Every structure is written in C-alpha cells, then in structure tokens.
Amino acid sequence: MPKRSRPILILAIFCGWIGGAASAFETKAQAAYVLDHGSGTVLLAKQADVGLPPASMSKLMTLLLAFEALRDGRLRWDERLPVSTHAMSYGGSTMFLDTTDRVTVEDLIRGIIVLSGNDACVVISEALSLDGTEAGFAAMMTDRAKDLGMDQSVFANSNGWPDIKHRMSMKDLATLAQHLITEFPKQYTMFSETEFLFDGRAPSNTRNRNPLLTLGIGADGLKTGHTSEAGYGLVGSAQQGERRVIFVLTGLQSPQERAEEAERIVTWAFRQFTSKTLSQPGEALAQAAVWMGSSRNVGLSLDGTPKILIPVTGGQEITSKIVYDGPLQAPIAKGNQVAELVISVPGLPETRLPLVAAQSITRGGFLPRLRTAALVLLRKVNGGLSGT
C-alpha cells in the first residue's frame, strides 16, 4: 500500500451562508464560559480552564451523584435520612436542619437546588459516601468529575464551603451542567422552581437566588454561588425555541452585577447567533478515495443532522474542509467514521464534526486489486524516470 497522506478537501457547501465576525463579548466576570448546547459551539471563554473557588455552584456535583444514586436504586425519593451533628454545624445558607430531623431525599434535593442548603448537601453526602463521611464523598466527587473530563475539578466538601483545595473551572461547570441537562431531563425541571417552603422553619430562606428565572427569557437553571473569595457567580441555562445556551460566570462584585451580566450574556448569545442545519440525513458531502476496494470512492456523510452556529450579521464567508487519512483502506462499513469536517466561522472557534461512510465498501476482487497494483507500479516507474 502507498504511503498514507492526509488529504484536505476544500468544500463550497456553505458558500451561500454569509456571516460576519462575531463581536467579542466583554464581561466584568473574572472568568466566564458560554456554550451553545445543541451545536457544542463555544461562544465565550475567559479564563475558562483555570481552577477557581466555585462556592455553591459546586453543589451541582453533589446533585449529580444524588441523581445517579436515585437512578441506580441506591436512594429513594421518599427515603428519610438522618441529620448528623456535622451536617448541623454548617452555617451560611441552610435548611436549618437539626439532629432530631429525618428528611426525605426529595426535600433535601429541593433544599439544595432552591435553598442552596449547605446542611442538606452534607446529609446526602454522608448517606452516599463509601465511608459515611463528607470527606469520603468529596473524594467520590473528584473521581466522578475526572470520569466526565472535568480535569480542573477537585472537591474538599459537598457544598462549596471555602477551602483552598476546593476548585473548579468554568469549563468544568459547563460540562457538568450539560451532563445534568442531557442525562436527567426530568430532574432538571426542579432547577426552575422559584420557591420551596420547607416546613416553615426558615421564612428568610425560601426563594431561589437565580435572578433570571422570572425574567421570561427562557432561563430554567441552574445554581448560584457566593463567597468572599469567589465573589458572585452563576451556572445558568436558557432555552429559546430549539436553541439552548449554557453559561458560567464568577468573580462578580454584587448580586445586582451578577444578574445584569447573566442577562446580558443570554441576550447576546441568542440575538447574535443562529443555527443552521448542515445536510439531510445520509447526504454525501464529498467522495474519498478507497484503496483496494470494490469501489474507488466512498461517500462521506455527517452522522445525524448536526447544526452549526453562525453570526447573524453579514460580512464574511464561512469556510469548511474535509480531512482524512487516505486513501481509505477497504473494507469500510457504512456508518463508520472515516473523516472529519472542519468548519471555520469568523469570530468563533473551529467546529469539528465526524464524517461517516455513506455506504459499505467491500475489499476488491482480482481485477480491482490488479488495477490498483498496476497504478502503484506506474507511479513508481514515473517517479524513477523523473528522478534521472
């Protein structure tokens, strides 16, 4: 077989879609990350890979492990859990639990989502921890984060209480939010609840602190956070029509600044970008050369019907290219990834999408293989003559 190269095919399939360079969003946040959920396009990244104190935003990891335990049958929604002295000892935002309480898992989860209960997190953590301690649960959180590719996340506790070792990046928090939205759609509806009246014992702590939930802009989650070290932050998500945006910001100076920046981000993300479907299912975008196959070429199609995000303003052309290690070796099964579509939109990071074989190509019989061998021999002869 000849030496494999990495061909690049420049396509004109998007030439009719003209978009302008996306205006960079200037945010007051210390760090921020904005993601288009459907296309996976990163719209904004500011210190997004830096591990920072996440405050109560890290409670999303406790909720993820709780949802997984409920799904697997290790917890029940109506199960009542005891409150330890350690759980009761936490201050800050709490459900005001004490050691005489036995609280249902459902109430505890609502207490975490709506009331940001530090004590509720500890009750859940001690129930699920392998050794029955919050520290043991924090180690489980760190391990699970690594499984999800959240490489800048290390947990020292279940609720984001200030600790020098407790860190998450904004990108990690967005990854976590995306996982919760995708894997637990039924439970995700709880994040849009604006009020939770837990037995009336904490009238000063009944309202969800997410400032976007009542603005009518499609916001439906997820979690605020604040400590003196972290400043004010928010992991948020909003859906308008078929598009969903996930955003994370931290290091703001006040609840008002957090609310204003979050609303600005949502407005910008939806108004300045629109999504486009790339092709119909099974439609071949190009042909790739095949080595020793029953056919000399194979069609390249997108897997499913993915969309890309483009700026709404006009001005510059979107370009694309197909990259693959070729020629491709037969046999090739229909649906196997054999190439990659790389799309460049002015002002946005590159989008890379897998391309699959549009049809199966079997290994060639005697005549195709003889023809291929002859072509290789002819290339060698011509190459030798040209070098004399």
3-class secondary structure, 324: coil
Provide the pLDDT for residue 16.
Answer: 41
CB atoms within 10 A of CB 216: 7
The residue ranking higher by pLDDT, 347 or 226, is 226
What CA–CA distance (Å, rounded) separates 83 from 72? Answer: 23
Q: Which helix (H) or strand (E) segment is 235 a member of?
A: strand 231-240
**pLDDT recorded at residue 6:** 63
Tell me phi and psi for residue 98, to 5 degrees. -135, 175
* Residue count of the chain: 388
Average pLDDT across the chain, whole number: 88
Is 334:360 a contact under the CB 8 Å cutoff?
yes
pLDDT mean over 286-307: 85
- Provide the pairing of β-strand 328-329 with 284-291: parallel
pLDDT, greater one: 173 or 307 = 173
Which is nearest to 43 in space by CA: 352, 351, 353? 351
CB 238 within 8 A of CB 181: no
> In Å, how far are 36, 57, 61, 297, 324 from 151, measured between CA atoms?
21, 17, 14, 41, 29
pLDDT tens for each residue of 337-346 = 999 888 887 7
HSE, side-chain direction, 13 A CA sphere, residue 176: 32
Q: SS3 for 282?
A: coil
- Would you give the DSSP letter of residue 304? S
Determine whether domain 8-18+278-383 maps to CATH 2.60.410.10.
yes
Structure tokens at 308: 């890309």
- From residue 360, how far is each of 78, 299, 346 by CA, in Å? 52, 9, 36
Q: What percent of the chain has pLDDT over 90?
A: 63
Collect all residues with Cβ–Cβ distance below 8 Å to 227 and sequence separation of at least 6: 53, 55, 160, 162
Question: 61 with 153: CB under 8 angstroms?
Answer: yes
> Looking at per-residue confidence, does 99 or 8 come out higher?
99
Q: Under DSSP, is residue 236 helix (H, G, I), strand (E, B) or coil? A: strand
Amino acid at 102: R
* pLDDT of 282 over the 50 cut: yes
CA–CA separation, 339 and 293 (whole Å) = 17
* Higher-scoring residue by pLDDT: 234, 284: 234
Domain positions in the chain are 8-18+278-383, 24-271
- What is the pTM for the complete model shown? 0.82
Contact 190, 113 (CB under 8 A): yes
Chain-centre distance for alpha carbon 375:
47
Residues 6 or more apart whose Cβ sits within 8 Å of residue 262 = 211, 212, 234, 236, 247, 249
Q: Which CATH class is domain 24-271?
A: alpha beta
Identify which of 52-56, 279-283, 313-317, 347-351 has the greatest average pLDDT. 52-56
| Cα–Cα distance list, 48 to 15, 43, 51, 266 (Å) | 32, 12, 8, 18
